[in-house]
């Protein structure tokens, strides 16, 4: 687990709101320096949580003073009662910081359909206000639900000869599929970045990371990724992509988001294998991605990988059902760098031994050449095991 450096302008506190019957902290309160820029990418679900709707509105202001994350209750599909709890959090936090409610960002994760208890939210937040600051690991653990380990990552970039830092925490294990964001993820940097530029950069980073992972093809009602730039470092401010250091910052943000996205896939509910699916030779990049996701979301492909079965026929099936341009007689498929099928046929003298050995590992590489164009895409997923069924069958109990 990486050690994240302290960051000026980011103070983390946690508390027990007891949203569920568990003996752990489940409310995270992160205070941000005045003037912090914010950007966000939110679920495109047509049944979003109240928190997502609030964040979408608050992002228009481009500034943030605090983040509140509740674990154990998604507060989605809860009507007016759900909004009452969010409004109480906004009122408490904005009064505590003497700022506008639009500078407070709220996320909740957990069971859908149960209103967030506003009395517990209030008690938990008041306790967090009084709590001692905590480390990154404690904050990452507090936002977890079915996750099996705290997820966090860090990187750095040089702007004007000064080294700035980017760090992030994330939660997500199931109900993960690309749709403008997946899971709850929070990125922090001490750099000074214009909110509009930060939004464009986060959009670009998301397209290459969070929108290229899938665990089970399901998109949450609460999916949120927020980026906060505190402006507490003396490095030159970034106002546009033309500024010196902007490319370096974008590269670092891309790297951080990719690290966080991969951690989510590695902790897919019941997962035992991390799978990379690279599609090339497609008619367009969009087509390549849709084909890759068709493979990644196929239960038949995912269970074959879980069983360490080199059933490349299931890859053919997933390519064919994607609805994208493809030619059966030009298709090539490989596992772990070993080509198993080419030109629509199994390769001559095919030896399954090296493929079988590759599938026994915990990192699996699948390559597919469509053979009709020059475009490519890569997505990441995990296998599908009995553990996924057990976790989700018992989720509310």
156: tokens are 């750095």
Point out the domain boundary residue: 217, 246, 266: 266
User: Residue 311 domain-assigned?
Assistant: yes
392 carries a ligand binding annotation: yes
Range of the domain at 333: 274-393
pLDDT, tens only, 31-55: 999 999 999 999 877 778 899 999 9
pLDDT, tens only, 266-313: 876 667 889 999 999 999 999 999 999 999 999 899 999 999 988 888
Asked if residues 267 and 358 have their Cβ atoms less than 8 Å apart, the reply is no
- Map tokens 């500024």 to a residue: 243
Tell me: do 19 and 125 sit in the same domain.
yes
CATH of the domain at 169: 3.60.70.12
Asked if the model's pLDDT at residue 202 lies above 80, the reply is yes
Mean pLDDT, range 126-153, rounded to an integer: 95
pLDDT at 112: 83
8: nearest Cα among 132, 246, 192, 255: 192
Asked if the model's pLDDT at residue 374 lies above 50, the reply is yes
Q: Please give the sequence-ordered ranges of beta strands (E in DSSP) within 94-204, or none if there are none.
A: 104-111, 151-159, 162-171, 184-189
Look at the chain and report how many structural domains it folds into. 2
219 carries a ligand binding annotation: no
- Structure letter (DSSP) for residue 114: S
User: Residue 98 domain-assigned?
Assistant: yes
Asked if the model's pLDDT at residue 256 lies above 90, the reply is yes
Q: From CA 232, how far away is CA 155, in angstroms rounded?
A: 17
pTM: 0.89
At residue 391 the predicted structure's pLDDT band, cuts being 50, 70 and 90, is low
Which of 28, 43, 154, 182 does the annotation list as catalytic?
A: 182
Q: From CA 227, how far away is CA 229, in angstroms rounded?
A: 7
pLDDT at 180: 39
User: Residue 21 domain-assigned?
Assistant: yes
Q: From CA 208, how far away is CA 187, in angstroms rounded?
A: 16
Tell me: do 160 and 202 sit in the same domain.
yes
User: Residue 1 domain-assigned?
Assistant: no
| Integer CA distances (angstroms), 251 to 83, 189, 258, in order | 38, 14, 11
At residue 176 the predicted structure's pLDDT band, cuts being 50, 70 and 90, is very low
CATH of the domain at 385: 3.10.20.340
Tell me: do 231 and 299 sit in the same domain.
no
At residue 394 the predicted structure's pLDDT band, cuts being 50, 70 and 90, is low
Tell me: do 252 and 344 sit in the same domain.
no
397 carries a ligand binding annotation: yes
Label residues 199-219 b or e (16+ Cβ within 10 Å = b): bebbeebbbebbbbbbbbbeb
43 carries a ligand binding annotation: no
Point out the domain boundary residue: 266, 292, 327: 266
Label residues 94-133 b or e (16+ Cβ within 10 Å = b): bebbebebbbbbbbbbbebebbbbbebbbbbbebbeebee
Q: Please give the sequence-ordered ranges of beta strands (E in DSSP) within the chain, or none if there are none.
A: 10-15, 27-42, 63-73, 104-111, 151-159, 162-171, 184-189, 224-229, 274-282, 332-335, 338-342, 345-346, 363-369, 375-382
Pairing mode of beta strands 63-73, 104-111: parallel
Q: Is 182 assigned a catalytic role?
A: yes
Tell me: do 74 and 105 sit in the same domain.
yes
374 carries a ligand binding annotation: no
269 carries a ligand binding annotation: yes
Mean pLDDT, range 234-261, rounded to an integer: 97
Point out the domain boundary residue: 216, 242, 266: 266
pLDDT at 182: 45
153 bridge partner residues: 168
Tell me: do 261 and 280 sit in the same domain.
no
């Amino acid at each position: 687990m990486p050690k994240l450096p302290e960051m000026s302008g980011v103070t983390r506190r946690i508390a027990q709101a007891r949203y569920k019957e568990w003996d752990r902290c489940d409310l995270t309160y992160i205070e941000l320096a005045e003037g912090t820029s914010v950007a966000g990418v939110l679920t495109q679900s047509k049944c979003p949580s109240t928190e997502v709707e609030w964040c979408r509105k608050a992002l228009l202001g481009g500034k943030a003073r605090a983040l509140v994350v509740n674990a154990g209750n998604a507060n989605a599909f809860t009507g007016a009662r759900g909004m009452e709890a969010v409004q109480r959090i906004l009122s408490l936090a904005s009064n505590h910081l003497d700022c506008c409610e639009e500078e407070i960002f709220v996320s909740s994760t957990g069971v859908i359909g149960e209103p967030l208890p506003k009395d517990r939210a209030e008690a938990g937040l008041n306790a967090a206000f009084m709590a001692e600051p905590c480390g990154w690991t404690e904050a990452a653990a507090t936002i977890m639900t079915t996750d099996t380990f705290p997820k966090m990552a860090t990187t750095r970039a040089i702007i004007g000869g000064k080294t700035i830092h980017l760090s992030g925490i994330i939660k997500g294990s199931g109900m993960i599929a690309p749709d403008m964001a997946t899971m709850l993820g929070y990125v922090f940097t001490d750099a000074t970045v214009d909110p509009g530029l930060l939004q464009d950069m986060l959009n670009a980073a998301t397209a290459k990371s969070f929108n290229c992972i899938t665990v089970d093809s399901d998109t949450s009602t609460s999916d949120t990724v927020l980026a906060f730039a505190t402006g507490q470092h003396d490095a030159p401010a970034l106002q546009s992509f033309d500024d010196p250091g902007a490319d370096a910052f974008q590269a670092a943000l891309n790297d951080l988001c990719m690290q966080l996205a991969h951690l989510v896939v590695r902790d897919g509910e019941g997962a035992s294998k991390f799978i990379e699916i690279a599609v090339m030779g497609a008619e367009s990049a969009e087509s390549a991605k849709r084909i890759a996701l068709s493979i990644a979301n196929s239960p038949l492909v995912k269970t074959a990988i879980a069983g360490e079965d080199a059933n490349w026929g299931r890859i053919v099936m997933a390519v064919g059902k994607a609805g994208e341009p493809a030619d059966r007689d030009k298709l090539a498929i490989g596992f772990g760098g070993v080509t198993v099928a080419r030109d629509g046929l199994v390769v001559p003298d095919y030896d399954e031994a090296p493929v079988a050995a590759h599938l026994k590992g915990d990192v699996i590489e699948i390559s597919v050449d469509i053979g009709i164009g020059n475009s490519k895409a890569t997505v990441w997923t995990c296998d599908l095991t009995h553990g996924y069924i057990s976790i989700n069958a018992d989720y509310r109990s």
